[in-house]
Chains A and B, each alone.
Chain A
Amino acid sequence: MPVITMREALNQAMREEMHRDENIFLMGEEVASYQGAYKVSKGLLDEFGDKRVIDSPITELGFAGLGVGAAMVGLRPIIEFMTFNFSILATDQIVNSAAKMLYMSGGQFKIPIVFRGPGGSAYQVSSQHSQAIESWFAHFPGLKVVMPSTPADAKGLLKSAIRDDDPVIFIEQERMYGNKGEVSDDPEFMIPLGVAEVKREGTDATIVARSLMVPIALKAAEELEKQGVSVEVIDPRTIRPFDTETIIRSVMKTNRVVIAEESHPFCGVGAEISAQIMERAFDYLDAPVKRVSGVDAPMPYAKNLEKLAIPDLPRLVAAVREVSYLD
């Protein structure tokens, strides 16, 4: 299989789907002439023209709402946020319009739309441009939330998201666009939403990691193997719907869980996963569930402080050792 970057995988997903269905259009800031602020939409303007690849003004609430309206009458918009930090301006349309339209219309208006773009921590851009806000969106019934960690997942999940009839929040990690991996070039290659993947099998402890934390968790597992601890790494891939079963099965096997996430801990996705494990597999736990989250502070600019704010390999290794009562 070809080895490509996450950026290229996302580009392929959009290109293939836009060829398949002419109701799909891409709209966002700098997606067309500039070829994408992160080059994810590179070449799409030339291929599909300015009817389907549309540069928007900097008007997030406006074009997010425009997308929802277009979806009400049968188009399948892909709305790109230059970063998810700017989606905050559009939350009214995402939460109050997209998420609830099908329900409050008694099933009459489905909203097949993808809101995508980079999220999570970036490099030294301080508090407003470097944050993980998936828990906001995951809170609401009606939305689906996807966070891929590999180029293959990125492509397969984005294709599924585009074909899905519900609004999907698709958060790409800003630091991971250059990561490479094998990706199928089969136009029907899809990964279903709501299905977790065991990224590495193990027997002694489970790390539940998403997005940027997955490669770090895999490194931690390698490190811990040398120390005699067999770690299973599970990537939920989709935050909503959430594949609790795969995690519960793992907990029943390993009896110890560490949850790794970039986001703040308070009311985060990790807190939800922890609660679900407690509710459904309490008797299988040999230690309290441990969260390794981004710190409970806005993201600082200074390089040394930024490094402290995001979970890293040593902290993850230490957390697994802690739940394994090794120290």
Chain B
Amino acid sequence: MSELKVTPMKPRMQAEEASGAGVSIQAKVEAAAATAAINPEELRREHAQRQQEQQERIEELDRDTLHRLLYQMVLIRRFEEKAAEAYTLGKIGGFCHLYIGQEAVAVGALGALRPDDYVLTSYRDHGHSLAKGTSPDEVMAELYGKAGGCSAGKGGSMHLFDAGVNFLGGHAIVGGQIPLATGVAFAAKYRGTDQVTLVFFGEAAVNQGAFHESLNMAQLWKLPCIFICENNQYGMGTSLERAMSLQDVSQKAPAYNMAGEFVDGMDVLDVYQATKRAVERARTESLPTLLEIRTYRFMGHSMSDPGNYRTRAEIEKHQERDPIVVFRTNLKEKGTLDDAAMNDIEQRVREAVERALQFAESSPEPAPEELFTHIYANPPRQDA
């Protein structure tokens, strides 16, 4: 059965005929289950086809861009591995949601942006922050709760912010960042700039009212906002199938008359190119897009999640398409990456992560008086 649980790379089509009058709910469920069942052989063929597609995409990009994307993915992977270690050592507290397995999404999407574009995301935010350009030193120091952190030690893992690179957080109420991003895009349009706003959220956020309210407003007012659903197929321990009546997230775009696209989140270049198309639409036509980027997290929901709700076999199936391994292999096969270049990337990443750990260790704790700073921008009169 574990074979059958593997999510196909192409979205299932909704059984349109099942919505007709006289069809029972049971019949709809059975029809959906029938379309969900896929053959492992078919899956292997699909993997091979996907590999071929990525190799074709490689030909369309220059070497520097390709290496930069690979570097960022490796950086996030190694950073997160060290964060996990630091968490188990008690250096990092609270909740810590790792991005391992999903690197291609943040890296591919943010690679399609201009530096002055805006990015917002959920609490699983380390990868996006790093890809947007926040220093790994400051991200790690924030996880450590240190004064040198990008949020001065007040936000922690779930609330990374970096105004300097237009990284607008790190928001920890599921779906809460989606209306915020809609407002950021509204402001860009109001001001007449051509900046684009990207907002990331998990598929579980799609069930929140905030998602639907935001998509409605964004299309109604033609806002340059790109809504990126990182569909990692689990909302904490609840599978997509147990939580969403219509599981093809990209199919929710037409409900708002919005452009929507399904993207393979294990292929950094598919993400890059799809986001480029959406950015172009936002920048030149001031129109929003919903991208469903199908991905998979290799770790638990957070560091405290033992992950009993999915099988080892299921995880391994997805690890076969590890976005970093796939990309690295394809680059090598295309002759765009040799061992020396790969070693160089690994070496630079190792140094950056090591530096980040040292910075976080040596950064001081926030001063006690910081407890009461930044509550108000215009603090109440002290003489009152």
Residues of B within 8 A of A166 (CB): 376-378
A241–B380 touching, CB < 8 Å:
yes
What residue of chain A has the Cβ atom nearest to residue B223's Cβ?
Answer: A66
Residues of B within 8 A of A92 (CB): 173, 176, 210
Residues 325 to 384 of chain B near chain A (Cβ within 8 Å): 373-378, 380-381, 384
B184–A73 touching, CB < 8 Å:
yes
Residues 158 to 181 of chain A near chain B (Cβ within 8 Å): 164-166
Among listed B34-42, B153-161, B306-314, interface-contacting one: B153-161
Contact with A along B290-308 (1 / 0, CB 8 A): 0000000000000000000
B380–A72 touching, CB < 8 Å:
no
B188–A110 touching, CB < 8 Å:
no
B118–A105 touching, CB < 8 Å:
no
Interface size class of B (residues with CB under 8 A): 35 or more
Bound Cα distance A105, B118 (Å):
15
| Contact with B151, one of A106, A141, A195 (Cβ below 8 angstroms) | A106
A61–B213 touching, CB < 8 Å:
yes
| Contact with A75, one of B176, B181, B187 (Cβ below 8 angstroms) | B187
User: What DSSP secondary structure best describes chain B's contact surface?
Assistant: mixed
| Given contact pairs A25-B190, A59-B217, A112-B377, A105 touches B183 in the complex (Cβ within 8 A) | no
| Contact with B173, one of A96, A105, A192, A241 (Cβ below 8 angstroms) | A96
- Chain B proximity of A12: nearest CB distance (Å): 23
A108–B179 touching, CB < 8 Å:
no
Residues of A within 8 A of B217 (CB): 56-57, 59, 62-63, 66
What residue of chain A has the Cβ atom nearest to residue B376's Cβ?
Answer: A166
Bound Cα distance A62, B220 (Å):
13
Interface size class of A (residues with CB under 8 A): 35 or more
Bound Cα distance A103, B153 (Å):
10
B18, CB-defined interface residue at 8 Å? no
| Given contact pairs A61-B213, A65-B182, A105-B161, A70 touches B378 in the complex (Cβ within 8 A) | no
B163, CB-defined interface residue at 8 Å? yes
- Chain A proximity of B256: nearest CB distance (Å): 11
B143, CB-defined interface residue at 8 Å? no
B127, CB-defined interface residue at 8 Å? no
| Given contact pairs A62-B210, A63-B217, A194-B381, A106 touches B180 in the complex (Cβ within 8 A) | no
What residue of chain B has the Cβ atom nearest to residue A52's Cβ?
Answer: B190
B168, CB-defined interface residue at 8 Å? yes
B149, CB-defined interface residue at 8 Å? yes
What residue of chain B has the Cβ atom nearest to residue A65's Cβ?
Answer: B179
Bound Cα distance A51, B186 (Å):
11
Residues of A within 8 A of B182 (CB): 62, 65-66, 69
| Contact with A106, one of B161, B181, B191, B209 (Cβ below 8 angstroms) | B161
| Contact with B168, one of A57, A107, A109 (Cβ below 8 angstroms) | A109
| Contact with A62, one of B170, B179, B191 (Cβ below 8 angstroms) | B179
B169, CB-defined interface residue at 8 Å? yes
| Given contact pairs A104-B159, A241-B384, A64 touches B151 in the complex (Cβ within 8 A) | no
Bound Cα distance A141, B374 (Å):
10
B183–A66 touching, CB < 8 Å:
yes
What residue of chain A has the Cβ atom nearest to residue B163's Cβ?
Answer: A108
Residues 193 to 225 of chain B near chain A (Cβ within 8 Å): 209-210, 213-214, 216-217, 220
A61–B210 touching, CB < 8 Å:
yes
B86, CB-defined interface residue at 8 Å? no
B152, CB-defined interface residue at 8 Å? yes
A184, CB-defined interface residue at 8 Å? no
A72–B176 touching, CB < 8 Å:
no
Bound Cα distance A245, B179 (Å):
39
A74–B187 touching, CB < 8 Å:
yes
Contact with B along A45-83 (1 / 0, CB 8 A): 000000100001101011111111111111101000000
Residues of B within 8 A of A85 (CB): none
What residue of chain A has the Cβ atom nearest to residue B182's Cβ?
Answer: A66
Residues of B within 8 A of A312 (CB): none
Among A101, A105, A106, A244, max chain B CB count under 10 A is at A106
B216–A106 touching, CB < 8 Å:
no
| Contact with A141, one of B152, B163, B375 (Cβ below 8 angstroms) | B375
Q: Apart from A62-B214, A77-B183, list 17 A-B contacts with CB within 8 A.
A: A25-B190, A61-B209, A62-B182, A62-B217, A63-B213, A63-B217, A65-B178, A69-B120, A70-B190, A103-B374, A104-B151, A104-B155, A107-B152, A108-B162, A142-B376, A165-B377, A241-B384
Enumerate 26 A-B pairs (CB-CB under 8 Å) in ascending A order: A59-B217, A62-B209, A62-B210, A63-B213, A64-B179, A69-B120, A69-B185, A72-B180, A72-B184, A73-B168, A73-B184, A74-B187, A75-B186, A93-B180, A96-B173, A102-B374, A102-B375, A104-B155, A105-B159, A105-B169, A106-B153, A107-B374, A110-B377, A164-B378, A241-B381, A243-B384
